[in-house]
Amino acid sequence: MAFNYQKNKEHSQDSFWTSYSDLFLGLSTIFLLLYVTASLRTGTDALRGQIENQKLSIQVDELKHQLAMYESVKNEYLAKQADKSEVQEYQELMDKLTLLQEDAKTEKDRLIAEALENENKVKALNKYQQMVRNVLNANKMAKAKIITRDDLIKEQDVEIETREAQITSLEKDIDSKKQLIAQGEQRIQETELALQKRVKELQSAYKKNKITKNLYQKQMAQLQADSEQKVQQLAQTNAQYEQQLQQASAQLGEAQGALEKTRGELAAKLGENQQLQGQLQAAEGERKDLYGKLSATQNEKKNLLGQLEQTQGEVGSLKQGLAKVRGKLNVTEGELAKAKAEIEARKSVAGEIRKGFAKAGIKADIDGETGDVVLDFGQAYFDSDSDRLKKEMKGVLERAMPIYSKSLFGNPKVSDKISSVEIIGFASPTYQGRFVDPTSNNPRDKAALKYNMDLSYRRANSIFNYILDEQNMKFEHQRDLLSLMKVSGRSFLEVMQVQNRNIATAAEFCRQNDCRKTQRVIIRFSMDQKK
């Protein structure tokens, strides 16, 4: 399609540039729209990435906060609630975990170093292998060159034999030509001799007048003409033979030159062949040396692989040990989490009991951490050596047990975790007006200790029997409570640390050690962490 200059020339200059300005304006608008679209997309992607980063930052902060809370709860539990054996076990587990982490790090560093060393050895082995390949390739090339040289030598041997056969043939031809020339010269001599003899005969006949002078001259001329003709013929034949001899000599010279050249080339090829044989022998020796190094390196590689497998086995064992420790740590952390949940549940129950007792005006010592309840019966406690409930004690039980039962079984989050409710009775550390020493081997003291232990059980059992009888009291969750209740007696051993055991009378002992602390009833609930 050609450009019609005349047609475009007819338009005015203004309309021409106006059309181009419209085109430029349209292109500028398109590029502006593309730039705005790209900017919006970039801004949207950046905003989306910023929002994702903010979400991730919030999640990280939440995780850090949760970890800090968990660490705080764990430290609080270890400091306040956990006994010495748990703290010691936790410390041992953490120490073992730290040691295993350090061992794992050390082993990891050692394995990394060995891996780098093995990698360097593998590189060296690959280098040796490449060198062996190069030597083998060089050997193959040398052998190929030797084979090629041998083929060329064989070809040149054939060519030499051919040229020698040609030379032999030319020499035979020359010899035959020389013989022919000799025969021709002999014939010339014989002809000349015959001519001389005939001339002598003619001269003799002429002298003896046997022939006329004209006949003599005529025969002599005829004889000379014949002789000259034969001589010329023989000379021409000899000349031809001489020319053929020269040609054969020239061919012989050329053949001998070519033969010498071929022999020189053959000698050069034989020298190169011997040089290649030497190179091949040197390469073969180098190849054997490299094969020896390669075998040693491969043996070393096998040893390293065996050591690596052994190390990997040790690492596997360490990982298994670390996994076991982590499993124990997870179990411990799970137990800590369950213990924390139980502590929170106990605190919740203790709070509910405290609120209920305060509202009902019941005096009791409530442990805010464990939820243990020590009922305060005031002065109306069991009489000495008696397990009979007094009226005031029954009134305290009738008001306290419904509240206690509702606090335990009225909360669904707690009720399914209650495994038992124990009534624990205690007795005074005195018997028949004197202090009973539980460490004494005296049969009388042992009998007194047994009596007080039995008395503490009977007192707890009296409370249980009163709660059990629905004619005495009836309240919500009573059956749930009674199905989990058990009774035990602890004498005074659990709640009293005796300072002075060398006291004669019980009255003096109680004044110094406050025997009323042992005359109590504890109601304690247990929570099954498996639920």
Residue 345, pLDDT > 60, answer yes
Three-state SS sequence of 270-320 = HHHHHHHHHHHHHHHHHHHHHHHHHHHHHHHHHHHHHHHHHHHHHHHHHHH
- Report yes or no: 76 and 342 within 8 Å, Cβ to Cβ: no
63-77 tens-digit pLDDT:
777 777 767 777 777
CB atoms within 10 A of CB 409: 20
Please give the Cα distance from 310 to 323 (Å, whole number). Answer: 19
372-386 tens-digit pLDDT:
998 877 777 777 778
Which of 124-128, 264-268, 368-372, 500-504 is the most confident on average?
368-372
Residue 461, pLDDT > 90, answer yes
- Report yes or no: 476 and 404 within 8 Å, Cβ to Cβ: no
For residue 354, CA distances in Å to 193, 239, 433 come to 177, 158, 37
Structure token digits, residue 116: 């780098």
- If you ran DSSP here, which 8-state letter would residue 491 be given? T
pLDDT of residue 508: 61
268-307 tens-digit pLDDT:
877 877 887 787 788 778 777 777 877 777 787 788 778 7
Structure token digits, residue 397: 């039980």
Report the DSSP beta bridge partners of residue 529. Answer: none
Strand, helix or coil for residue 154: helix
Average pLDDT over every residue of 22-50: 80
Strand, helix or coil for residue 414: helix
- Report yes or no: 418 and 410 within 8 Å, Cβ to Cβ: no
Residue 252, pLDDT > 60, answer yes
Please give the Cα distance from 340 to 334 (Å, whole number). Answer: 10
Average pLDDT, the chain: 77
